[in-house]
């Protein structure tokens, strides 16, 4: 892009936008900022520094677009920026001390004082350092001045009292009083306006100090609140002409009748034939009169606020910070431990089993896995053994039954007959298992129950049958019938394990078994 010629552009704005020494200094400071300088950034910066109103903004934008390239994203080189900054500083120095014409935008700008051509890098570093330091200091100073100014304007200046009402010019007639204040007037808006208590009267005396007579042609009320005041002939209407000689007075009755609350102000102009005519200022403050009516609640059942009390809030409890810190530390420790496990303690991944071509091709399913765990636990078997209970057998025991012995001796006179108590015996358990049941091959609950109760000292008879419970077969293959246990059935619990099936031929066997005192049928 062509070289940046900023000072000629500023010269074209001189007639419309005044540019002073401080403006040149601000532009030099802003151009020393870091970052790429584009045409759009240069336009926005100059617009914020120089333009004060919309007219200047329109002229500035029009001349900027005509003077600089249309590409707003074009980046200015550092050489152009340095040359423009030097020219701006020279322009500011020239404004302080007028000199002869100089070429500000020449191809070879003058070198600032103190620069050493033998050490350009050091000179450039010092110049950037001082510019940045001066820019920061100027920004801080301007901020402090702005804050102090705003604070002074908002908090230090006393409130400006409202300007007093303009006094009328010195007339030929004298009013007493020239400012009639009716004070505060409380009225009831529901009362008719023609009621006596709806109006407050006042009086203004007009005096002719002379020389010569003066004729009062009428009265006129003006102002935004003229309707709140009344004169004898009504507002904006004339009264019969009254001629006052030198030293004579005339009393004018004025009434205040507000319809709205608030402050009301109006002007009473005295129309006379010898201008300037006097003007009186009327002032009144109206407020609604509250009727002394007892308060009535429209909704008696609804709660209401009796009073509002404010209490200072207690100091916040900071004890939760310790627990929060402990929770954060625990969370960080857990996260660290999780990272440790993920990095160094990974669970090995499952790999497919290796195929052995020399291994056996057929095997029994019974060999897979170990021996199945028992269905009935030891605690359950202990509980079942304890619940079997006892019964009195037919065999006599070692304890003498005194009452029975006395009764037997009385019934059979002769030598005493001794009767002993019958011995208690553990109730026996008869387990009948259907070998034709579908679950017999894989459900060992009947066999586990028989073995477990036998180990705990309970008499157990474990028999197997085929659909019909009679006859049933013991472990050694011996066949038994229910009739063989007829004399022991009072002390025996019968548990039948099967799937509910049975032949019609075994109906009589099931009926005989049903007459036993304690029989339970369990489907497996």
Q: What is the rounded CA–CA span in Å between residue 108 and residue 92?
A: 18
Q: What's the pTM?
A: 0.31
User: Which residues on neighbouring strands pair with residue 479, listed in sequence order?
Assistant: 473
Q: Give me the sheet containing 200-207, strands edge to edge.
A: 174-176, 200-207, 249-256, 229-230
Select from 379, 375, 393 the least CA-distant residue to 459: 393
CATH for the stretch 378-391+425-523: 3.40.50
Strand, coil or helix: what is 30? helix
Q: Which of 435, 430, 427, 404 is nearest to 417 (CA)?
A: 404
Query: 243 in helix, strand or coil?
Result: strand
Identify the CA nearest to 92 among candidates 115, 112, 107, 76. Answer: 112
Give me the tens of pLDDT residue by residue for the chain, a chain 524 residues long. Answer: 455 667 788 888 877 888 888 888 888 888 887 778 888 888 888 888 888 888 888 888 888 888 776 665 667 788 878 888 888 888 888 766 544 444 334 434 444 444 444 455 666 677 777 776 776 777 778 777 877 776 666 665 555 566 655 544 444 678 778 788 888 888 777 777 777 777 888 888 888 777 778 887 778 888 888 878 888 644 444 466 777 777 777 888 888 888 888 888 888 887 787 777 888 888 888 887 766 667 677 777 877 777 888 888 888 888 999 999 999 999 999 999 999 988 888 777 888 888 888 887 777 776 777 777 888 898 998 888 888 876 566 667 677 777 877 787 878 877 887 777 776 667 888 999 988 888 888 888 999 999 998 998 888 999 998 888 888 999 888 898 888 888 888 888 899 998 876 666 678 888 888 888 888 888 87
Alpha helices of 78-194 — where are they, by DSSP H? 78-96, 120-151
Rounded to 5 degrees, what are φ and ψ at 135? -65, -45
- Quick check: bond before 211 cis, omega within 30? yes
Fold match flag (174-288 vs 378-391+425-523): no
Q: Where do the structural domains in the chain lie, given as residue ranges?
A: 6-99, 174-288, 378-391+425-523
Report how far Cα 367 is from the mean position of its chain's Cα atoms: 65
According to DSSP, the β-strands at 279-288 and 179-187 are parallel
CATH topology of domain 174-288: Immunoglobulin-like (2.60.40)
């Amino acid at each position: 892009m062509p070289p940046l010629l900023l000072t000629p552009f500023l010269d074209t704005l001189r007639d419309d936008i005044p540019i002073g020494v401080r403006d040149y200094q601000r532009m030099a400071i802003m151009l020393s900022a870091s970052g790429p300088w584009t045409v759009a950034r240069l336009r926005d910066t100059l617009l914020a520094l120089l333009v004060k109103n919309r007219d200047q903004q329109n002229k500035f934008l029009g001349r900027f677009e005509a003077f600089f390239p249309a590409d707003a994203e074009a980046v200015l080189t550092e050489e152009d920026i340095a040359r423009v900054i030097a020219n701006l500083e020279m322009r500011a120095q020239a404004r302080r001390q007028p000199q002869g014409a100089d070429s500000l935008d020449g191809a070879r700008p003058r070198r600032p004082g103190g620069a050493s051509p033998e050490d350009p890098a050091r000179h450039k570093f010092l110049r950037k350092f001082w510019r940045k330091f001066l820019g920061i200091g100027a920004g801080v100073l301007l901020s402090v001045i702005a804050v102090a100014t705003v604070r002074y304007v908002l908090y230090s200046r006393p409130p400006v009292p409202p300007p007093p009402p303009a006094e009328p010019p010195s007339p030929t007639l004298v009013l007493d009083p020239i400012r009639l204040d009716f004070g505060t007037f409380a009225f009831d808006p529901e009362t008719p306006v023609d009621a006596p208590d709806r109006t407050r009267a006042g009086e203004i005396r007009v005096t002719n100090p002379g020389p010569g007579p003066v004729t009062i042609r009428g009265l006129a009320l003006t102002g935004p609140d003229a309707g709140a005041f009344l004169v004898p002939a009504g507002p904006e209407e004339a009264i019969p002409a009254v001629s006052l000689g030198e030293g004579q007075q005339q009393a004018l009755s004025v009434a205040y009748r507000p319809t709205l609350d608030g402050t009301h102000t109006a002007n009473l102009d005295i129309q006379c034939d010898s201008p300037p005519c006097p003007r009186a200022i009327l002032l009144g403050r109206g407020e609604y009169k509250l009727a002394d009516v007892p308060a009535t609640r429209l909704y008696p059942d609804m709660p209401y606020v009796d009073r509002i009390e404010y209490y200072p809030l207690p100091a916040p409890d900071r004890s939760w910070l310790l627990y929060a810190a402990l929770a954060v530390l625990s969370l960080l420790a857990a996260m660290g431990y999780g990272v440790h496990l993920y990095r160094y303690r990974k669970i090995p991944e499952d790999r497919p089993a290796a195929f052995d071509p020399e291994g056996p091709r057929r095997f029994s399913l019974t060999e897979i896995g170990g021996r199945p765990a028992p269905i009935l636990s030891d605690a359950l078997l202990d509980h079942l053994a304890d619940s079997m209970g006892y019964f009195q057998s037919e065999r006599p025991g070692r304890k003498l039954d005194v009452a029975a012995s006395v009764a037997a001796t009385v019934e059979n006179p002769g030598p005493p007959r001794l009767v002993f108590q019958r011995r208690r015996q553990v109730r026996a358990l008869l387990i009948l298992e259907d070998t034709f049941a579908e679950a017999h091959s894989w459900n060992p609950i009947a066999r586990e129950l028989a073995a477990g109760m036998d180990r705990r000292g309970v008499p157990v008879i474990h028999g197997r049958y085929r659909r019909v419970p009679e006859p049933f077969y013991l472990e050694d293959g011996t066949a038994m019938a229910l009739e063989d246990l007829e004399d022991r059935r009072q002390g025996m619990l019968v548990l039948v394990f099967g799937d509910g099936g049975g032949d019609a031929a075994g109906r009589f066997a099931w009926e005989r078994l049903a007459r036993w005192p304690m029989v339970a049928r369990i489907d497996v």
